[in-house]
């Protein structure tokens, strides 16, 4: 399956890079950033951060601009090539390293207690043993290190199919399916609820410190003004951020983002 995934991500690397520049892509990245950055070490500490499933490096670039040293891991070489080009354009090649491989190979790449933070955003859906992958990534953290995991939310998958697409039969099936197609990449992926993700993190030795819903409202808005009007876009970001950690909204975002901390300081 990893070879099938690699090929899918290679073929769609440029399309993914283009998606990250669309309003929906920018919204997701901005929200992930806002929820992550408040838990990271101060910028002047120049921490070492692993971005597992880094794609074309959008989040990594922002972290490097903040002063951190970034290690990008991705299965697809084409993704990393685009990430490298982004880093070069931003003048950040000295702060960003690219590593091609699977998350299961991390013990061969990095020693335990290497990183001050590990980011794993929408990668866990594609790995064959998610709980094992989480333990492997957590094991690379230093004491007090931060783990940010973002995932496709099973609950929102049903809502999106019913309310946004009008696919009622598919929505009914999604209630119990546990998988959904990745529209861009054309491969199946797992979906999760926050309870399952929290259990994974806890079993890996992480203490949960925050939980957020990501893209709670955007998929259901009646109009598209936020896609063309910067003022409307900022108003949507403000609404999303205000609701993100409140019940029940944190459980119905298109994506979930849960932050954990490893061990004692």
What are 74-124's pLDDT values in tens digits?
999 999 999 999 999 999 999 999 999 999 999 999 999 999 999 999 999
Q: How far apart are CA 44 and CA 66, in angstroms?
A: 8
Tokens representing 134 are 């989480």
User: Most distant CA pair in the chain: distance in Å?
Assistant: 52
Site of tokens 């080009």? 85
Least confident of 3-12, 83-92, 134-143: 3-12
CA 137 to chain centre: 14
Q: Report the alpha-carbon distance of residue 213 to residue 223 in Å, rounded.
A: 21
Whether the bond into 248 is cis, omega within 30 of 0:
yes
- Give the Cα-Cα-Cα angle 100, 101, 105 (nearest 5 degrees): 140
Residue 60 has what pLDDT? 96
Among 84, 32, 41, which residue's Cα sits nearest to residue 59? 32
Residue 3 pLDDT level (bands cut at 50, 70, 90): confident
Question: Which pLDDT value is given to residue 5?
Answer: 82
Look at phi and psi of residue 120 and say left if phi exceeds 0, alpha if psi is from -120 to 50, else beta. Answer: beta
Is 1's pLDDT higher than 60? no
pTM over 0.85: yes
Distance CA 251, CA 132 (A): 24
Q: Which residues contact 173 (CB under 8 A, 6 or more apart)?
A: none
Count Cα atoms within 13 angstroms, Cβ side, for 11.
10
Mean pLDDT of the chain: 93
What are the backbone dihedrals phi and psi of residue 54, each rounded to the nearest 5 degrees, phi first? Answer: -75, -15
pLDDT of residue 221: 92
**Residue 264 confidence (pLDDT):** 61
What pLDDT is recorded for position 253? Answer: 96
Q: Which helix (H) or strand (E) holds 182?
A: strand 179-182
| Statement: residue 265 has pLDDT above 70 | no
Cα separation of 9 and 75, whole Å? 8
User: Could you report the per-residue pLDDT of 175-204, keeping only the tens digit for each?
Assistant: 888 888 777 887 889 999 999 999 999 999
Q: What is the mean pLDDT of residues 199-225?
A: 95
């Amino acid at each position: 399956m990893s070879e099938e995934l690699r090929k899918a991500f290679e073929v769609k690397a440029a399309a993914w890079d283009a998606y990250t520049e669309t309003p929906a892509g920018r919204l997701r990245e901005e929200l992930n950033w806002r929820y992550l950055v408040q838990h990271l070490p101060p910028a002047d500490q120049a921490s070492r951060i692993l971005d597992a499933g880094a794609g074309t490096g959008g989040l990594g670039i922002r972290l490097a601009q903040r002063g951190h040293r970034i290690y990008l891991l991705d299965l697809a070489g084409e993704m990393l090539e685009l990430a490298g080009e982004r880093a070069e354009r931003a003048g950040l090649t000295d702060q960003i390293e690219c590593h091609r491989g699977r998350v299961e190979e991390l013990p061969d790449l990095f020693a335990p207690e290497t990183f001050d933070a590990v980011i794993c955003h929408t990668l866990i859906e594609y790995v064959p043993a998610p709980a094992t992958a989480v333990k492997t990534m957590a094991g690379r953290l230093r004491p007090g290190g931060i783990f940010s995991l973002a995932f496709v939310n099973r609950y929102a998958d049903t809502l999106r199919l019913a309310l946004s697409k009008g696919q009622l039969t598919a929505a009914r099936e999604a209630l119990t399916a546990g998988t959904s197609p990745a529209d861009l990449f054309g491969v199946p992926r797992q979906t999760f609820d926050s309870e399952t993700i929290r259990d994974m993190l806890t079993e890996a030795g992480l203490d949960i410190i925050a939980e957020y819903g990501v893209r709670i409202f955007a998929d259901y808005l009646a109009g598209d003004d936020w896609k063309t009007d910067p003022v409307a876009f900022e108003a949507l970001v403000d609404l999303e951020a205000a609701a993100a950690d409140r019940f029940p909204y944190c459980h119905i975002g298109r994506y979930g983002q849960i932050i954990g901390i490893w061990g004692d300081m």
